[in-house]
A and B are shown apart, each in its own frame.
Chain A
Amino acid sequence: TQLLEQSPQFLSIQEGENLTVYCNSSSVFSSLQWYRQEPGEGPVLLVTVVTGGEVKKLKRLTFQFGDARKDSSLHITAAQPGDTGLYLCAGGPGGSYIPTFGRGTSLIVHP
């Protein structure tokens, strides 16, 4: 089983602050996904990164895949209360293998 370590586990910030959450592993992934989950709902895909060093932007969210494809980060600029949720990363070696999930970072953005 490939293990994904996410940090921090919890984050509580004020609206307008910037933040970065991390997803690390000792294994190489063919791709890595970031999901956001709101209370009472299932995870929703935000982005997939595939190439080492890749950077993707989704409005105020910036996702980066490490050069060695073993880690990833999610940076949120000027956080808003609507960003509140559980952020999960997932990855796998590809093919028929089902991706492994990290334990998530729970983010609360206070107005």
Chain B
Amino acid sequence: NAGVTQTPKFQVLKTGQSMTLQCAQDMNHEYMSWYRQDPGMGLRLIHYSVGAGITDQGEVPNGYNVSRSTTEDFPLRLLSAAPSQTSVYFCASRPDRGGDEQYFGPGTRLTVT
């Protein structure tokens, strides 16, 4: 199993551009989530999904869209990039049963100029 994969690893955008961060998992997990990590701020939840076709907002959803058409994939879309969205983005998944343990991808480092 590859676990949770994320692409790209690094990305530079200009203000106003849009892009999609890809996330996929091969563990058949129902729950998936997107976090951003900024220095001194820890991991903040952007959006999450409890199953295909179901998404909900987290703590910092503004400027981001998600969709969950399959169990495996959970892409994060930046509609119009802003410098405040410069961050490291992590995707995570967890099964719907058992504990709250999450499995994280390697992250995407995004810079918006």
Contact = CB atoms under 8 A, between A and B. Distances in A.
The interface size bin for chain A is: 20 to 34
A96 B102 contact: no
B109 to A, nearest CB: 8
Contacts, number: 61
Interface in B15-60: 31, 33, 35, 40-45, 48, 50, 58-59
Interface stretch (A55-63, A75-83, A101-109): A101-109
B107 interface: yes
B41 A31 contact: no
The interface size bin for chain B is: 20 to 34
Closest 9 CB pairs of A and B: A42-B104, A103-B42, A101-B43, A48-B99, A98-B48, A99-B100, A96-B50, A101-B42, A43-B104
Interface of B: 4, 31, 33, 35, 40-45, 48, 50, 58-59, 90, 92, 96, 99-107
Interface of A: 1, 9, 30-31, 33, 35, 40-45, 48, 50, 88, 90-92, 94, 96, 98-104
